[in-house]
Structure 1
């Protein structure tokens, strides 16, 4: 992937401040384009990082795949995150003050990433669909602090990344199920319900699923 240094990213104090911008990559769409899809870990997956997870795919092109785990909360809340980046978060409607920050994945876990509904323009942002954008710059959280940020959002530390062909190989080995994403699950549903709800988009009861099942 191409490397780029961007100015005001969502880097946490005391950690690496300059790093690869996951949005600074270009390329033609892959033949199998899973952007705006959920990756659902098969129940048999024993990986300590991805077992039991649902990943929202933000970008899929010739450089690989970028996604965010949406159902693995950390111990950090929005309030704690804002304190660490020296922003004042008021306890007002839409502030998400007590919401946990997600563990988005093991890549660049010194930085914050925000999935949100599109609206205002931010300095480093990717519009995935008309309903979902992915932002890596701190101005989106500055907008939240000012009371003008997106009403629906998910903030993560780190993201999940796959090199070209890597995810496709994992899918072919029944590591993941795939299904078109649902914004209600992404933004609104309680965290602990997202895995089962994503499975049910495929008409699957996770308790009945075995490691022999294929992908959708």
Structure 2
């Protein structure tokens, strides 16, 4: 299978693993060593970006309090069940640091504190998404799950990842393939 890095995984509606039910995942890595991705459509309840800044002591508490609500109240996404305490930021490629990994020409991944400071205090990337945790697959595991009809794949969409409201991303990802939940069959077909 060709690399799916930079593409979206969409959980089939009958996904039997509750951790991934109705998930849309951006694959940030995929190759012979396995795959890694971030769920982009499930927020962590009762946790906001300002809470992370406070916990990591990333700025003067008074400066954090003075941040606009649009920054303080940003959602923190549940990126996946692996490394749940580690933060990952998907961001537009206009922001780069020595620690940024280009996923594709439009989006990068950074997992260091410098990106969190930039998101809060500037200069911030034009678009970003912060997640705790990630998804991981061992070699061949993701390919097997796709073959067993567990996932659909879709091309990357900057609008879907960064602009579509979180609660609409699953249906929007399906719509990008011109399908709906009702039009999907749980049975795989093989020629």
TM-score (norm 2): 0.90
Query: Which residue does 2:14 correspond to in 1?
Result: 44
**What displacement does 1:119 show?**
2.5
Residues in 1 aligned to 2:172 and 2:3: alpha-carbon distance in whole angstroms = 22
Residue in structure 2 matching 1:85, options 48, 56, 60: 56
Residue in structure 2 matching 1:203, options 175, 178, 183: 178
User: Aligned-residue CA RMSD in angstroms?
Assistant: 1.7
Residues in 1 aligned to 2:188 and 2:181: alpha-carbon distance in whole angstroms = 11
Q: Does 1:103 align with 2:78?
A: yes
**What displacement does 1:200 show?**
0.7
**What displacement does 1:73 show?**
0.5
Greater share of residues in helix: 2
Residues in 2 aligned to 1:97 and 1:206: alpha-carbon distance in whole angstroms = 34
**What displacement does 1:214 show?**
5.7
CA offset digits 1:166-202 (Å, max 9, x no partner): 0000000000000111110100111110000000111
TM-score (norm 1): 0.80
Structure 2 unmatched ranges of 5 or more? none
Residues in 2 aligned to 1:206 and 1:151: alpha-carbon distance in whole angstroms = 32
Residue in structure 2 matching 1:162, options 137, 148, 169: 137
Residue in structure 1 matching 2:117, options 122, 134, 142: 142
